[in-house]
Amino acid sequence: MRIFVWHVHGSWTTALVQGRHEYLLPVLRGRGPDGRGRARTWDWPAAAVEVTPQEAADAEVDAVVLQRPEELDGLCERWLGGRRPGADLPAVYVEHNAPQGRIAEMRHPAADRPELTLVHVTHFNQLFWDAGSTPTRVIEHGVVDPGYRYTGELARCAVTINEARRRARVTGTDLLDRFAGAAPLDVFGIGARDVGGIDNLRQDELHAEMARRRVYLHPIRWTSLGLSLIEAMQLGMPVVALATTEAPEAVPEQAGVLSTSVQTLAAGIRRLIADPAEARERGEAARRAALERYGLERFLADWDELLEEVAT
């Protein structure tokens, strides 16, 4: 099949393009949000093909994967020569995020669109979003296995947050000073320099640096399930995480420490930093759990099943 999909969420798209289809990725000269094309920090297979607006208008497309309201509200139609997703072309809408704002009153942008299928990446998101009459499906994350790389040689915590300053309380950026009292923190991610961290690393470089830290800290209050958490688990890192959104489902008890108490989490950091053997044991459990639940093979099989279903 030929799948038309924007490069919106880098790690998620990295997993999707590992499949057996051809993936048409919109590209613009400035490579802004509406035309990033292929990734620059991941190595994507040749089946991930960049298309300009001119090429997309005449391209043969079997299904469209939408991810943003603007794609549903005209952007996709303009790129595809007037073809409407869900009407002229089979389409699914992937929701990566948990709803923000007054949760009980929020309706999804794709609500009451029975011609679409709304795909959630976590059961938590499906539970909290109101989709009205739009059929929904959960396809949990799949992650390209970075391999067991844990050394834990540095008695520090790795934290991965994109745009940590802007997203502030949502990502738990305001909690970092409190956790830093338990162990030194190294923050990675887009815009991490704004909070004294490290950014602009390629994916393989990021994984290598994360795995040198003894503990992975996940201070996220309210987002979907961060792929960096799953990647850390696959690297073999023990996890200390806020027990919010999907994290309690993703991280088994033996893989680390989960709690809504900052004091409990800080105590867990101190214990794992002081006991490298326990940290390694919990990291190995984290890796087993992540490979079992978030393996790439299951993810791609789930997507194949859905794409074939909507295309026919």
Q: In the chain, where are the structural domains located?
A: 2-142+296-311, 154-293
Q: What is the pLDDT of residues 257-282, one digit of tens each?
A: 999 999 999 999 999 999 999 999 99
Q: What is the pLDDT of residues 64-98, one digit of tens each?
A: 999 999 999 999 999 999 999 999 999 999 999 99
CATH for the 154-293 domain, from 3.40.50.2000, 3.40.50.300, 3.20.20.140, 3.40.640.10: 3.40.50.2000
Average pLDDT over residues 122-127: 96
Max CA pair span of the chain: 61
- C-alpha distances out from residue 171 to 164, 174, 236, Å: 7, 8, 23
Q: According to the model, what pLDDT value does residue 106 have?
A: 86
Q: In the numeric block, which tokens belong to residue 21? A: 């289809």
Rounded Cα gap, residues 237 and 220, in angstroms:
17
In this prediction the pTM is 0.93
Q: According to the model, what pLDDT value does residue 101 have?
A: 85
Q: According to the model, what pLDDT value does residue 41 have?
A: 79
Could you tell me which residues are beta bridge partners of residue 107? 130
At residue 249, what are phi and psi to the nearest 5 degrees? -80, -35
